[in-house]
Structure 1
Amino acid sequence: MAWRCSGLSNADLVNRLVQAKLVHTEAVKQAMLAVDRGHFSKYKPYEDAPQTIGYNSTISAPHMHAAALESLSPFLFPGAKVLDVGSGSGYLTACMAEMVGPQGRVVGVEHIPELVVKSEENTKKGHLDFMEEKRLAFYTADGRTGYRQDAPYDCIHVGAAADSMHEELVDQLKAPGRMFIPVDEGLGQAIYVVDKDEHGRVTKKKTMDVWQMRGSIIWLLDSKHQKNIKDDACGNYCRATHSSIVANFHKYLPL
């Protein structure tokens, strides 16, 4: 089960995710091995659970990062252009930058300015070259409208629950392209994969349900509203809805 994948080191964590069949693509495995989660999270970085990073935000659980990377992996090829909406700590953004290589481009968009600064600092601990090559860049912006300055993108990852599919994001996908996005469905949330084919036709596929747990949801909000949200008693307000996914979600993969 996903929550049994916690490790004593970054390599141990990734190997456990592989053993659990939550990571099965070699490129995803190598990216997660190359980007040390310990550079992006102070608290229990190798535990398979979301951890607080401040500002009512968390870094998602490793198994959810694995799910996103596996889903998007066909579009994270060398030279690809990628958008990460709600980039938070910068961890997943850095993993995607590892996958797209020096000729690729990954844009992380985050509406909390302090997290943008932190994500840059985190990335420089192990991958200063990503910043120097302009392979990876973080911007303070409202992710609900994407980031048109670098559009279109081969793939888009959304790390916060959306109240709808946000057509502005779909419009910024290349043809072909793919988006991984959690969407509210009233009593709970679901992960949708949105594919745009080479002719521009869009299909939306629900790939997994998400358990709605206390303190497990953060919406695509502006920074003012998010900063006013209070943490729960444990200080564990989860930024990404999909951090509390059902344990056997990997049955939906690969897509």
Structure 2
Amino acid sequence: MPTPTPSLITVIVAFVKKSLYFSSRYVRQTYSRLTYPKQLSGINMAWTCSGNTNSALIENMWKNGLITDARVKEAFLKVDRAHYAPAMPYEDSPQPIGYSATISAPHMHASAVEHVLSYLLPSSTSPSPRILDVGSGSGYLTHVMAELVGEKGLVVGLEHIRQLKELGENNMAKSEQGRRFLESGKVRFRFGDGRKGWVEEPREGEQQEGMGWDVIHVGASAVEIHPELIEQLKAPGCMFIPVDDDKMGYNQHVWRIEKDGNGEVTKKKLFGVRYVPLTEAPKE
């Protein structure tokens, strides 16, 4: 058998690289089409949003329409993802953080914030928003939301794995602003079964009837839209929750649940996703 010449080897290598590129590109585009509907502006550009720095990542999401509100952009710029993601923090992709949990891709966190933004921000009807982050994991989104709720707002990260609760606290303590949030009590991490929600004692000056949540964000896929979570929503209030479409959890969609001022609840299916399951706290 004749020995391949250097020029032939170069051609073969180039062909293989090109084939791998188009194959990889096809897989990414196909997954993107399967995961998100076409009408969700900018979401198919998520694969191009990675950067070398935190600001580059956020700017890319802004340019590609994954972040559309300047206030959301500013909040994400204030929180360095390197404090929360163990490796490749500026890649727009999910990453494992241990204990069968993940930190979601940045574009998913951005989408969650934008879908509940009007309830996150202080308003005349809710000057001190109360936010529950179920399945807070790394603590990244907990921190981002804390940047949006104003001086009097409260964000509670709820975890069913004690080590992840501690991980969120430790990650937030890596930055000066994060430490201030923890020390002031503006951000708190709790241990419990997220399917049942959480009752946080009223802070100084709060009335007992104001203990519901303006926003509930659920960072894992539920088998149903748990009634306890809807009950704990304020009126008005909003929830962002991924829910299994089938018993096996092979298909999931994010739902946006709104409760109006009269307590009427509306549910809207947004887009398909892949999340780890929302489960009970392990018995100790």
* Cα distance between partner residues in 1 of 2:158 and 2:69: 26
Q: Which residue of 2 aligns with 1:120?
A: 169
Q: 2:93 aligns with which of 49, 54, 67?
A: 49
Per the TM alignment, residue 149 of structure 1 is displaced from its structure 2 partner at its CA by 2.8
CA RMSD of aligned residues (A): 1.2
Query: Is 1:196 the counterpart of 2:196 in the alignment?
Result: no
Structure 1: gaps of 5 or more residues: 211-215, 226-255
Per the TM alignment, residue 30 of structure 1 is displaced from its structure 2 partner at its CA by 0.7
Identity, % of aligned pairs?
48
Q: Which residue of 2 aligns with 1:77?
A: 121
Count residues in correspondence.
220
CA deviations 1:29-48 (Å, max 9, x no partner) are 01100011100012111100
Normalising by structure 1, what TM-score?
Answer: 0.84
* Cα distance between partner residues in 1 of 2:86 and 2:253: 29
Q: 2:242 aligns with which of 165, 182, 193?
A: 182
Kindly report which structure 2 residues correspond to 1:1-255, keeping only aligned pairs within 5 A, or say none. 1-78=45-122, 79-126=128-175, 127-150=178-201, 151-186=211-246, 187-210=250-273, 216-224=274-282
* Cα distance between partner residues in 1 of 2:147 and 2:84: 15
Per the TM alignment, residue 224 of structure 1 is displaced from its structure 2 partner at its CA by 3.2
- The answer to whether the Cα contact below 8 Å between 2:158 and 2:191 also exists between their aligned partners in 1 is yes
* Cα distance between partner residues in 1 of 2:129 and 2:73: 18
CA deviations 1:132-159 (Å, max 9, x no partner) are 1111000011100000235401110000
Normalising by structure 2, what TM-score?
Answer: 0.75
Q: Which has the larger radius of gyration?
A: 2
Structure 2: gaps of 5 or more residues: 1-44, 123-127, 202-210
CA deviations 1:9-54 (Å, max 9, x no partner) are 1100000000110101111101100011100012111100001111
Q: Pick 1 or 2: higher relative contact order, CA cutoff 8 A, min separation 6.
A: 1
- The answer to whether the Cα contact below 8 Å between 2:67 and 2:110 also exists between their aligned partners in 1 is yes
* Shift >3 Å, 4+ stretches: none
